[in-house]
Amino acid sequence: MRIWLARHGETPWNRDRRAQGWSDVALSDRGRAQARALGELLGSTRPEAIYASTLSRAWETAEAVARPHGLGVEGREDLWELNQGILEGLTIAEMLQRHEELVSAWWRDPGDQVLPDGESLRQVQERAWRVIEEIRARHEREVIVVTHNMVIRAILIRVLGLDFSRSRCLKFGIASLNRIGWNGGSSPSLELFNFLDHIEGS
């Protein structure tokens, strides 16, 4: 069993380094080109299904990935990005200016630090892993999941057995590709990390 974990293409807020979270920000023109490139790259795979966050930046990316396979996309709200609460819409500079103590506390302990009006990375991991378990129960070979930075981070923290405090060590490019797999055992392994060869200028 293999699960491809794809991050969505670029949005204007990615370009501005602005926290998106649950805000429904659409892809930029560059992001649409990245989604098409991701679809071309994954065109040689044979997925049984394609799952995606229903936020439009991930959904549009997933549709581009699904097109070569003639598959529909199965939406899951449990694959939504980390809800960043009061930080959403702010640039990193604005976060540090207005909420420096909160940002520092979250960077130290993202697993248990719940963002005001938002959630913690542990909560993201719990809901995202439910989707992983559902996929494993329903499918046997290959599945593609299109989702968000913090969701992929939360999944890989669990796969690698890392503490949440190490989450910032995992860096994923926009429209990057990762893969986890189960080779006859109950524990997954990381088979591909932050693959970006399909993205121009990566």
Distance from C-alpha of 105 to C-alpha of 118, rounded to nearest angstrom: 14
Catalytic residue among 8, 88, 119, 148: 8
Distance from C-alpha of 171 to C-alpha of 152, rounded to nearest angstrom: 10
The answer to whether 21 and 1 have CB atoms below 8 angstroms apart is no
Q: Return the amino acid letter for 20.
A: Q
**8 catalytically annotated:** yes
Crossing angle between the packed helical segments 149-160 and 121-138, to the nearest 10 degrees: 80
Largest CA distance in the chain: 50
Read off the tokens for 22: 């649950």
Distance from C-alpha of 126 to C-alpha of 130, rounded to nearest angstrom: 6
Catalytic residue among 60, 81, 88, 119: 81
Distance from C-alpha of 202 to C-alpha of 174, rounded to nearest angstrom: 9
**88 catalytically annotated:** no
Known catalytic residues are 8, 81
